[in-house]
Chain A
Amino acid sequence: MTRLRRLCLLALVFAAGCLDHTTGTTPHASCSLTASGGSLGSPTIPVIGCGLVGSRYTAEVAVLDTTAYTTTWGFRTAPGNMLAVWNVKGNEPELVDSVIVSGATTLGDVAVSDDGKLLIVATERTNGSLVVFDLTNPRHPVQLSRLATQNTYNGVHTAEVGRIAGNLYAVLAIDALSGAPTPESKVVIVDLADPAHPREVFIKSIPSTAPFVHDTFLRDGLLFVALWNAGIEIWDVGGGGQGGTASAPAVIGSVATIGGDAHNIWWLHDAVSGSRYAFVGEESGPAQIGVSSAGDIHVLDVSDLTHPREVAFYHVAGAGTHNFSVDETKGILYAAYYNAGVRALDVRGDLETCTPGQQVTTGNITRCDLAAMGREIGQGLDGGGGGAGGTPAVYVWGVELSGGSLYASDMLNGLWKLQTVQ
């Protein structure tokens, strides 16, 4: 055990002693999970190890080979301005470095470029920015640049990185901020061809009917944009055949997901299902961070990109989903599920054909219930099923598949390393 881990554990034990036991918060100082007694509906996803973070709330996770990066959120005993760097080669993630980003209260998102050379981090709230790191030494990121403009001022909620026509871009989801010079939420596309000098090439304000954008998904020249109450839009940014580019996207399709609160998207490229489905995470309420959440996974048939339609959903009672990572080789979607840990869904094949008993009709839309169809194939970090509150309590923000393992960032505890569903 390293000195750092000993210190972390000592700090956690000390902190645990100060917690109010009457409120249900359970102290812990190890990676062991104890179920609450509830019955699991599907096999448990075993834990391999964990890296504890007690001073800050952990946010998103990104993994590059044997190095993982986690960001931090809000204020615990210190502000959410730390990027943590982990060695995840062994079973237990080991903290090997950390970077403090000045002027930030939250680093809500982190992503690694496909060539492994760049790491981007989104900062919130006011004076929001995009910070670009050089990963020449992956264990010790070095800041290359920081983009902070009037367009990012409200706060950068998420930052995705991907290629359009071979060139590297970041897509930023900008917060709304009452009274700001431009108070509305925005999508900003940033050219990272020269990462030392990132350049905004497109800015679009989100219509008031949305009124927020929380996340995007970029693939094959198509940009999927999660527009909260307005559902999603699909933009041609170079691959949709409608003449769209990174600097002049063209909207080619949209759909209002049931319930709204569309937060994040994954467009599935499955060896069997093809590119037929997109999955949308609904980040609904009421939700009290650390203890409760709400919101389903919505399945869209996007085989006709101009007319996407909702065909299925997945619901967990008492919990809501957040970010996804998909094993497209095996057709398994892993979803962060806040207080319910991690859920694994079999998303291979036809998801929109089901028996009447597996159907739910909302308004004039009939959808298949993936849970009723037996598509749930794993639960992790739940400790008892359905967010029933095992030990320790978890609040899982994000998941990332890498190197045959699943990594889960947990706001309350830090970074978990789990096995994948076989």
Chain B
Amino acid sequence: MLVMTLLVTFVAEPSRAQESAIALGGGASAIALLTNATGTPQGRTLTEAYLTQPIVSAHLRAGWFHATGMLNFEGLTLRRGELDLGEWGEGYVDRRHPHAYVHELMIGAESPGGPLAASVFAGRGFVPFGSDDPMARPFVSFPVDHHLAQILERLVVVAALRGGPIVAEAATFNGDEPLDPSTPPLARRFGDSWSLRGTLFGPAGTELAASYANVKSPEFREGQGLDQRKTHLDLRVTGTSGPFTRYALVEAARTTDIDRGRPLYAFDAFLGEAAVCRGDAGIAARWERSDRPEEERLLDLFRSARPATDLSILGVTQWTTLSAALSLPLVAVAEAHAAPFIEVAHITADRTTAAVFDPVQFYGTRSMWRLSAGVRFGVGHGHDRMGRYGAADGLPVSSVGPDAHERHSTSRHRCFS
């Protein structure tokens, strides 16, 4: 179904959002990335280049019926992962893992707009927990807290109810995280995990959200690993003033590993990021301090095995990252565009206990730099946000005024996207 939708989208007319009862849109994008990082495992400085976040997306709306999907081809372009010190998850460490080929494929129904609205979506996609996926945010490099602040690529059913400025979401899904880009989730584990998220939409494009998730055995696909209890709180602000657009996010997250109901380890994250754009050019900054569990590495020091052989860890490191990004004016030809960018990050890694994992010993330093440059390429129009469906995807434009986030907009700026 997704493939057919994508074909229809791109063969017929890229980026089309009709005023009629049927709206079909989509886009494709990719980022050519060159990254230089100091202080990688064993003290090496690495320079790597690849195509990251190569995606094709489509969305369809026909009355109450909605469908949205995204294919991600990082399994082809980024098999070894994207160099990103501090980042971890799905068996990758200090590299961001490639996402699943079927990153998102959700269908659903949404009641007509108005003061009270409801929606139900099902498929493979984002769990209503935490903040928007980093792919829909200003920085190319993912934050360390990705696995503390988002839950994605699950078989999920999401129900959302919006009343006035308040949105409540509930979901059930499979706890197991993806093994690799091509292996589908275990259908038999659907329903073993759940989440709740509440969002209050305020004036001037503000939204305050709190969420909780109970995730069964995310790291042991067969279901007998440690469970996780996850909490998340964030404040997000977006708006437009003349040629300027602004965005800010502040979030706090905690994930607690649970063994048969008994808490073992807790990992905290705090992140603040903001971006200001004038037209298609902009600047962004991000500060983050996040905990990371240290686990036994494999022969490839950027990988670890799942699950661990017992309940122990090698320690908890605290990663503090200060990043800045500059997105330059894009070059556009018809529906296609290209936008150069540059990112720089200073990263520090600190032990939180005297456990054996010592960043100074492992990386040769506790202070690292990462410099990235590249070009964002795109055609058509992809997601504005990633992680919300139907009634939870913001308020109707008419209800909050011109500064509000524009749902399914086709005329927004392309800064950082």
A221 at the binding interface (Cβ < 8 Å):
no
What residues of A have a CB within 8 angstroms of the CB of B207 in the complex?
A: none
The reply to whether A283 and B310 contact each other, CB–CB distance below 8 Å, is yes
Size of the A side of the interface (Cβ < 8 Å), in residues, is 53
Residue in B219, B260, B314 whose beta carbon sits within 8 Å of that of A229 in the complex: B260
What residues of B have a CB within 8 angstroms of the CB of A285 in the complex?
A: 259, 264-265, 310-312
The reply to whether A393 and B298 contact each other, CB–CB distance below 8 Å, is no
Contact string, B236-273, partner A, CB cutoff 8 A, digits 1/0? 00000000000000000000000110001100000000
A24 at the binding interface (Cβ < 8 Å):
yes
What residues of B have a CB within 8 angstroms of the CB of A160 in the complex?
A: none
A57 at the binding interface (Cβ < 8 Å):
yes
**Once bound together, how far apart are the Cα atoms of A411 and B356, in whole Å?**
9
A301 at the binding interface (Cβ < 8 Å):
no
Contact string, B336-379, partner A, CB cutoff 8 A, digits 1/0? 00000000000000010111101011100000000000000000
Binds B, one of A71-79, A113-121, A327-335, A369-377: A71-79
Closest residue of B by beta carbon distance from A173 = B309
B381 at the binding interface (Cβ < 8 Å):
no
Residue in A77, A178, A289 whose beta carbon sits within 8 Å of that of B314 in the complex: A289
The reply to whether B354 and A75 contact each other, CB–CB distance below 8 Å, is no
What residues of B have a CB within 8 angstroms of the CB of A261 in the complex?
A: 310-311
The reply to whether A393 and B354 contact each other, CB–CB distance below 8 Å, is yes
Q: How far is the CB of A410 from chain B (nearest CB, A)?
A: 12
What residues of A have a CB within 8 angstroms of the CB of B225 in the complex?
A: 178
Contact string, A289-301, partner B, CB cutoff 8 A, digits 1/0? 1111100000000
What residues of B have a CB within 8 angstroms of the CB of A212 in the complex?
A: 309-310
The reply to whether B351 and A290 contact each other, CB–CB distance below 8 Å, is no
A246 at the binding interface (Cβ < 8 Å):
no
The reply to whether A412 and B299 contact each other, CB–CB distance below 8 Å, is no
**Once bound together, how far apart are the Cα atoms of A285 and B307, in whole Å?**
15
The reply to whether A286 and B358 contact each other, CB–CB distance below 8 Å, is no
B221 at the binding interface (Cβ < 8 Å):
yes
The reply to whether B356 and A178 contact each other, CB–CB distance below 8 Å, is no
Contact string, A263-303, partner B, CB cutoff 8 A, digits 1/0? 10000000000000000000111111111110000000000
Closest residue of A by beta carbon distance from B217 = A178
The reply to whether B301 and A75 contact each other, CB–CB distance below 8 Å, is yes
B384 at the binding interface (Cβ < 8 Å):
no
What residues of B have a CB within 8 angstroms of the CB of A74 in the complex?
A: 296-297, 314, 356
The reply to whether A177 and B313 contact each other, CB–CB distance below 8 Å, is no
Q: How far is the CB of B293 from chain A (nearest CB, A)?
A: 10
A125 at the binding interface (Cβ < 8 Å):
yes
B180 at the binding interface (Cβ < 8 Å):
yes
Given contacts A106-B296, A124-B309, is CB(A290)–CB(B355) below 8 Å? Answer: yes
What residues of A have a CB within 8 angstroms of the CB of B312 in the complex?
A: 283, 285-289, 293
The reply to whether A214 and B310 contact each other, CB–CB distance below 8 Å, is yes
The reply to whether B221 and A178 contact each other, CB–CB distance below 8 Å, is yes
Contact string, A1-41, partner B, CB cutoff 8 A, digits 1/0? 00000000000000100111001110000000000000000
B316 at the binding interface (Cβ < 8 Å):
yes
Q: How far is the CB of B45 from chain A (nearest CB, A)?
A: 18
The reply to whether A103 and B315 contact each other, CB–CB distance below 8 Å, is no
The reply to whether A176 and B307 contact each other, CB–CB distance below 8 Å, is yes
What residues of B have a CB within 8 angstroms of the CB of A393 in the complex?
A: 354
Closest residue of A by beta carbon distance from B224 = A211
B306 at the binding interface (Cβ < 8 Å):
yes
**Once bound together, how far apart are the Cα atoms of A412 and B355, in whole Å?**
10
B335 at the binding interface (Cβ < 8 Å):
no
B183 at the binding interface (Cβ < 8 Å):
yes
Name which of A24, A283, A288 has the most chain B CB atoms within 10 A of its CB. A288
What residues of B have a CB within 8 angstroms of the CB of A103 in the complex?
A: 299
**Once bound together, how far apart are the Cα atoms of A77 and B357, in whole Å?**
11
Closest residue of B by beta carbon distance from A15 = B361
What residues of A have a CB within 8 angstroms of the CB of B354 in the complex?
A: 23-25, 290-291, 393
The reply to whether B314 and A20 contact each other, CB–CB distance below 8 Å, is no
**Once bound together, how far apart are the Cα atoms of A289 and B305, in whole Å?**
17
Closest residue of A by beta carbon distance from B298 = A105
Q: How far is the CB of B260 from chain A (nearest CB, A)?
A: 7
B117 at the binding interface (Cβ < 8 Å):
no
Name which of B264, B301, B307, B310 has the most chain A CB atoms within 10 A of its CB. B310
What residues of A have a CB within 8 angstroms of the CB of B179 in the complex?
A: 178-179
Closest residue of B by beta carbon distance from A285 = B311
The reply to whether A283 and B305 contact each other, CB–CB distance below 8 Å, is no
Closest residue of B by beta carbon distance from A393 = B354
The reply to whether A178 and B219 contact each other, CB–CB distance below 8 Å, is yes
What residues of B have a CB within 8 angstroms of the CB of A73 in the complex?
A: 296
What residues of B have a CB within 8 angstroms of the CB of A126 in the complex?
A: 298, 305
A414 at the binding interface (Cβ < 8 Å):
no
The reply to whether B222 and A211 contact each other, CB–CB distance below 8 Å, is yes
**From residue 290 to 325 of chain B, which have CB atoms closer than 8 A to chain A?**
296-299, 301, 305-307, 309-316
What residues of B have a CB within 8 angstroms of the CB of A210 in the complex?
A: 224
Closest residue of A by beta carbon distance from B221 = A178
Can you name 23 A-B residue pairings with CB atoms under 8 Å?
Answer: A15-B361, A18-B360, A20-B351, A24-B354, A25-B354, A74-B297, A103-B299, A105-B299, A126-B305, A155-B305, A176-B220, A176-B307, A177-B305, A183-B222, A208-B222, A211-B224, A284-B311, A287-B310, A288-B313, A289-B314, A290-B354, A290-B356, A411-B356
Instruction: Name B's A-contacting residues (CB within 8 A).
Output: 179-180, 183, 219-225, 259-260, 264-265, 296-299, 301, 305-307, 309-316, 351, 353-356, 358, 360-362
Closest 6 CB pairs of A and B: A285-B311, A211-B224, A288-B355, A290-B356, A287-B312, A179-B179
Other 12 A-B pairs with CB < 8 A, given A178-B225, A210-B224, A286-B311: A19-B360, A23-B351, A74-B314, A79-B299, A125-B309, A175-B309, A176-B307, A178-B306, A184-B222, A285-B264, A286-B264, A291-B315
